[in-house]
Structure 1
Amino acid sequence: MVVSLITVLRESALAHPLHSEFLEAIRSVNPPGKWKILVVDEHSQKLLGSVLKQFDILEENVTLIESISNYREPQPGFEAVYLIMPTNQNVDRVMRDFSPPNTQYAAAHLFFIEGLPEPLFERLAASPAEPYLKGLKDLFVNFSAVESQMFLTSSPEMFFTIYSPPKTENEFKMARDRLEESLRFQSKIITNILISLNEFPFIRYYTPNNHPPLGPLRPHTSTRPPPPKADAGRWRTNLARGADARAFEAVESEYVAKLLAFMVQSNLEEHKKADSAFGKVDSTRGRSTMIITDRSMDTLAPFLHEFTYQAMANDLLRIEDGTKYVYKFEAAANSFEDKTATLSDADTLWTTLRHKHMQEAINELEADFKKFLIENAVFQGEGTANLSDMREMLAGLPQFQEQREKFSLHLSMAQECMAIFERDKLPALANVEQNCATGVTAEGKSPKKLVEEMVPLLDSREVVNVNKVRLVALYIQHREGVPEEDKRRLYQHARLSISEQDAVNSLLHLGVRVTRAPTDKDQKKKIKQRPADDDYDLSRFKPLLTSIIRENVENKLNMEMFPYVKEQPSAYVAPATQQRMAAPQTASLRSAKPSWHRSPRPGQGPVDKIKQRLFVFIAGGMTYSEVREAYQLSQALDKDIYIGSTHMITPKQFVDDLKVLDLAGVGSKAMPNGIPEYPGQRPYQEFYDSKYYTQDGPRPQPKLAPPMQQKTKSAASSVRGASRPVPSETDSFQSGTGSVVSANGEKKKKWYKF
């Protein structure tokens, strides 16, 4: 079945605002000559390409797409639509494009990917380019909608920025300033998502009760205010002790989730001042909630072997960025070729299977394959075909190219996963992992033979070392730390290298007690894990996020561990909401169907039923098991749950990052050279400009005119045929910009009006 990009976007709640804003921006510009030029920068081009194909853009009377960083031939006969980032560099380029006497285009319509700061607006307003600027609008679409309910800020380096300890005592202040600068950037992206969905949520954040702030936020003399005077004793009330005492102690509770949550709240309040209509609560939906946490909340989930399709495939197979997978495609009988597949919402087979247990996914894949063969009258023979047989049968069906490729892709992935499952002794490993993570056996009893079950696996040369690291890390967390001698013996049994031992030891920087002294007491459990609603012994563990989301919906989430930034919902629950909350009690996560498959009603957005929204953001990386829980809980709790993070993590990547956490990321995939040198405190715009800086392309050297030849159609004109005009210096018309009044406030008002 062919699924168009437009259909996918309509069903993808997060990608829909991106698609709509970009398309509406391009369509809103209707110059007298009909045709227009689109100007993009490197980052906006990536965002644009994620939701619109080049053909779709050219269909909107766009005759040419140009990069703002490249040299461009002047086209004074065309108006231009700029889709660009709000940087000083881009503002300079726009002003340079319209510096008389030479102008690049007849006029400019400026669309900034996120909010343009007032100083940059004032620069534009005071420049010679001002008479040529016919419109300006902020789109707030600077985020990556990876799936229908999942978004990323694409910042894997944040793991090291948040958790790597400063190298020396003198670097604490610098490391904290760097972290706050990076968190401000993260907060802007989160704010873009909320603005694009018109949501001003209640915001909650994670404050651990079992460890102090981590990394650069660890209380230190260089980052905390001076201590209060001697007479401001702790016995006095908080108010009586004064601001100095409160500020001194506040450092002890400044966790990363808290800083980020307050930044997001501040951003939303600023936007509300500029747009009073923003965030008005829909009575049928209710006000949303956002929960901001970080990776230290759950350090078990990244180590476990998961056996649902998406999580298992990303753990065991070589899948680039969770989307690109290279496999052997049997183009004809005994003829194979390498093929690169994209795993996305456009693949309906992928979206149907990705959160199912691998056994269920294989059963459904086999059933769909047989149904496909029968419906196309090519099924021969009886009995159950295995995965290998089905792949061979596909080679004989050249007339169904798209279906062949989809089935071949997922049959190949499933077959490879199951081969690794058996080869790497995952059944035995996963059983011990589950006992460590849940604290109980499959029979519901306390696991009293963990060491006896674990040591043979650590000794085995058939178990790869990365799996031994995962097992040791889970066991140490189950025991809430082990004596130094026991830890040494575990490492010795597993024959771990120094870097692999560093990976386990680095859990200390995520608030985990790795080494336990004789006098250490058991720690209070941070969050109680709920019993798993699963029939599979090797899938009993549920990420702690599951409990957090459920308890928040049930109004049972601990207020001390997850306080609100400002406002909090009233105790009253509307009758309609009570009915929606009552229904999930009979729902089963195993039978839940992902909500993105619902078809929208004509004229409506991506989902036909209006539900209350819940946003979750995990700083420092999230797992595919947590993403799965967000989708399944959306159905079970009758909510629209959106989950996001700085980046996705797989168990192997998590172990690799832990190996170099003490080294500030040196040698990591995210930042091979480690955390870059911090230039010192600077205006946020300067930091932002550096994030999106691009080198200008060289100006082409003049060439001698070639001999007269017959003209050929340009690529631009061939898209639509001869009717599309080819930009040249001879095409011109009156821009009709009109005069712009001198007052800055009135200028801005006019620019925002289309």
Structure 2
Amino acid sequence: MVYTQSEILQKEVYLFERLDSANREVMKHLKAICFLRPTKENVEFLIQELRRPKYSIYFIYFSNVISKSDVKALAEADEQEVVAEVQEFYGDYIAVNPHVFSLNLLGCCQGRSWDPAQLSRTTQGLTALLLSLKKCPMIRYQLSSEPAKRLAECVKQVITKEYELFDFRRTEVPPLLLILDRSDDAITPLLNQWTYQAMVHELLGINNNRIDLSRVPGISKDLREVVLSAENDEFYANNMYLNFAEIGSNIKNLMEDFQRRKPKEQQKLESIADMKAFVENYPQFKKMSGTVSKHVTVVGELSRLVAERNLLEVSEVEQELACQNDHSSALQNVRRLLQNPKVTELDAARLVMLYALHYERHSSNSLPGLLTELRNRGVSERHRKLVAAVVEYGGKRVRGSDLFSPKDAVAITKQFLKGLKGVENVYTQHQPLLQETLDQLIKGRLRDSQYPYLGPNTLRDRPQDVIVFIIGGATYEEALAVYNLNRTNPGVRIVLGGTTIHNTKR
């Protein structure tokens, strides 16, 4: 996530070993750089290493704050005086995009309460982020969420305890940490996506910038696993927030540009299949544009899945469930898709989950009938049980905000005008709740009664530096919303983080 192996090699680092690997050779001609989290286990591994050192000198870097007692234990183990340096480099989190981070944690809460180990890990990750950005923030949290309040208190305790580390130069407007709970918006992670990064994660899964393509029909060996990183891939950086149609068009433009430079190699590029054939037929193109061949493969697989799973139709109904308030039409469309054999078990369950969340208290609620239809079409009990679980997790009783409130006349007019300009289409009507929350925050209108400050102090001015953290995970749709807010509000910088980055399967 931070460095490619080739970049590390350029720094003359030639050997990569795990500290817990038992059969490492003694290599006294080499110096060792150790980068690790300051956990009990890691400190113990390091103590054992220093008692029997395999390298000549050790430079030790911890990704978070290490206790004085652990430093003392390491010093006592270093009888041969091989340690040259011990430092804290605050990198105890995963930097996903320039404005997005994750802690790669799944299942952080047990019911409505924190798992104690996950609360500790989340506190560590969040305080490491603050230290790396040199921020000592004021803290606001979602009042309807006990886990949000608990995390806010834990972060505040660390800031108070480590006050010397957090003694940064004061800014005119203090930074703000806003802690939210995923349960306030369980809709966003359930929707199919149509912008590149979000779509890849939803349909293929992005794990530490890696995409597993091994199940793609007819995939070549060198493309079984690919890396998508905006830092090392210009095409991805320029296209990650564009919609699916634009990406196909941009790949086509790149290939046509190559063809213009090689006039003998003219070939029609009318479809994704044409593009794949072009890449396979021209090894020279593949060599010159490995990046593009990778994206042709990824886009080709996305295209195949969209057709195979009937996702255009599924997504249209999802958007209706998320954004409209016509119960009769929504119910009719969900039932129609439940009869369609192309709709997968996951997509069928997802549609019923969205219906259950939106129309939970509707007078004509037909959830029992939809659950019966799921059972009749052979949807597994595991998927059927998720419907009740998602309502328990993010239903009306739990939410602090109203996800489905009818829009006022001004908002409806704005949306209509936007539609006329072609800014929106039927697959991207939905805006995550986070967008509205942050919009209110940067305008100074976010209610203290719903998002109180921790402690007596409050911000007098509109915030300029905002870190928003979602317990239960953020999404790439929300990452896009934050990207757009940063772009359209030049005086504001927002960083989004979560315990994980969601897709429906997570």
State the TM bucket, normalised to the shorter chain.
0.7 to 0.9
- Quote the residue 2:335 is aligned against: 455
Instruction: Return closer, same or farther for 1:303/1:126 CA change in 2, 3 Å cut-off.
Output: closer
Q: CA deviation at 1:256?
A: 0.7
Whether 1:465 and 2:345 are equivalent positions in the alignment is yes
- Quote the residue 1:85 is aligned against: 37
- Quote the residue 1:643 is aligned against: 496
* Alignment of structure 1 residues 709-720 onto 2, 5 Å: none
Give, as a single letter, the amino acid of the residue that structure 1 aligns with 2:105. Answer: S
- Quote the residue 2:169 is aligned against: 280
- Structure 2 distance, partners of 1:127, 1:318, is 43
* Alignment of structure 1 residues 711-730 onto 2, 5 Å: none
Q: Quick one: which of 79, 86, 90 aligns to 1:129? A: 79
TM-score, scaled to structure 1: 0.58
Q: CA deviation at 1:369?
A: 2.5
| Contact 1:316–1:417 (8 Å) recurs in 2 | yes
- Structure 1 distance, partners of 2:206, 2:213, is 8
- Structure 2 distance, partners of 1:79, 1:103, is 11
Whether 1:427 and 2:318 are equivalent positions in the alignment is no
Q: Quick one: which of 290, 294, 311 aligns to 2:181? A: 294
> Percent identity between the aligned chains?
20
Whether 1:348 and 2:348 are equivalent positions in the alignment is no
Secondary structure of the equivalent of 2:284?
Answer: coil
Q: CA deviation at 1:268?
A: 2.3
Give, as a single letter, the amino acid of the residue that structure 1 aligns with 2:486. Answer: S
Give, as a single letter, the amino acid of the residue that structure 2 aligns with 1:323. Answer: R
- Quote the residue 1:147 is aligned against: 97
Instruction: Return closer, same or farther for 1:85/1:322 CA change in 2, 3 Å cut-off.
Output: closer
| Contact 2:193–2:477 (8 Å) recurs in 1 | yes
* Alignment of structure 1 residues 311-326 onto 2, 5 Å: 311-317=198-204, 323-326=210-213
Instruction: Return closer, same or farther for 1:207/1:367 CA change in 2, 3 Å cut-off.
Output: same
Give, as a single letter, the amino acid of the residue that structure 2 aligns with 1:289. Answer: L
- Structure 2 distance, partners of 1:413, 1:649, is 19
| Contact 1:97–1:105 (8 Å) recurs in 2 | no
Secondary structure of the equivalent of 2:131?
Answer: helix
Give, as a single letter, the amino acid of the residue that structure 2 aligns with 1:313. Answer: V
* Alignment of structure 1 residues 173-212 onto 2, 5 Å: 179-208=115-144
Instruction: Return closer, same or farther for 1:336/1:153 CA change in 2, 3 Å cut-off.
Output: closer
Q: Quick one: which of 504, 510, 531 aligns to 2:393? A: 510
Cα deviation digits, residues 84-112 of structure 1 (max 9, x gap): 4334455455555555xx86666544332
Instruction: Return closer, same or farther for 1:378/1:645 CA change in 2, 3 Å cut-off.
Output: farther
- Structure 2 distance, partners of 1:419, 1:80, is 47
Q: Quick one: which of 337, 340, 359 aligns to 2:245? A: 359
Give, as a single letter, the amino acid of the residue that structure 1 aligns with 2:480. Answer: R
Q: CA deviation at 1:461?
A: 2.6
| Contact 2:356–2:391 (8 Å) recurs in 1 | no
- Structure 1 distance, partners of 2:440, 2:86, is 44
- Structure 2 distance, partners of 1:488, 1:143, is 42
- Structure 2 distance, partners of 1:379, 1:105, is 55
- Structure 1 distance, partners of 2:385, 2:281, is 51
Q: Tell me how many residue pairs correspond in the alignment.
A: 486
| Contact 1:309–1:355 (8 Å) recurs in 2 | yes
Give, as a single letter, the amino acid of the residue that structure 1 aligns with 2:277. Answer: E
Cα deviation digits, residues 56-78 of structure 1 (max 9, x gap): 3426xxx8665443455666677
- Structure 2 distance, partners of 1:419, 1:96, is 52
Cα deviation digits, residues 430-451 of structure 1 (max 9, x gap): 22222221125xxxxx565222
Secondary structure of the equivalent of 2:497?
Answer: strand
Instruction: Return closer, same or farther for 1:512/1:75 CA change in 2, 3 Å cut-off.
Output: same
| Contact 1:329–1:337 (8 Å) recurs in 2 | no
Q: CA deviation at 1:617?
A: 1.5
Give, as a single letter, the amino acid of the residue that structure 2 aligns with 1:457. Answer: L
- Structure 1 distance, partners of 2:264, 2:312, is 37
Q: Quick one: which of 153, 162, 173 aligns to 1:271? A: 162
- Structure 1 distance, partners of 2:317, 2:102, is 32
* Alignment of structure 1 residues 249-648 onto 2, 5 Å: 255-272=146-163, 274-275=164-165, 278-282=167-171, 286-317=173-204, 323-326=210-213, 337=221, 339=223, 340-345=225-230, 346-377=232-263, 380=266, 385-440=270-325, 446=326, 448-481=328-361, 486-494=366-374, 495=376, 496-513=379-396, 525=402, 534-566=423-455, 570-572=459-461, 612-638=464-490, 639-648=492-501
Secondary structure of the equivalent of 1:449?
Answer: helix
Farther off after superposition, 401-410 or 635-644: 401-410
- Structure 2 distance, partners of 1:484, 1:402, is 60
Q: CA deviation at 1:402?
A: 4.3
| Contact 1:434–1:541 (8 Å) recurs in 2 | yes
| Contact 2:28–2:54 (8 Å) recurs in 1 | yes
| Contact 1:314–1:322 (8 Å) recurs in 2 | no
Give, as a single letter, the amino acid of the residue that structure 2 aligns with 1:350. Answer: Y
Instruction: Return closer, same or farther for 1:559/1:338 CA change in 2, 3 Å cut-off.
Output: same
- Quote the residue 1:693 is aligned against: none
Give, as a single letter, the amino acid of the residue that structure 2 aligns with 1:507. Answer: V
Q: CA deviation at 1:145?
A: 1.6
- Structure 1 distance, partners of 2:56, 2:206, is 46
| Contact 1:327–1:409 (8 Å) recurs in 2 | no
Secondary structure of the equivalent of 2:427?
Answer: helix
- Structure 1 distance, partners of 2:429, 2:95, is 30
TM-score, scaled to structure 2: 0.83
Any unmatched runs of 5+ in structure 2?
none
- Structure 2 distance, partners of 1:90, 1:417, is 40
Cα deviation digits, residues 365-404 of structure 1 (max 9, x gap): 22232223324555636x7632222222233432233444
Any unmatched runs of 5+ in structure 1?
1-14, 20-48, 166-175, 214-254, 441-445, 515-521, 578-611, 655-754
| Contact 2:185–2:433 (8 Å) recurs in 1 | yes
Q: CA deviation at 1:546?
A: 0.9
Farther off after superposition, 192-201 or 428-437: 428-437
- Structure 2 distance, partners of 1:329, 1:426, is 18
Which of 1 and 2 has greater Rg? 1
Over the aligned positions, Cα root-mean-square deviation in angstroms equals 3.6
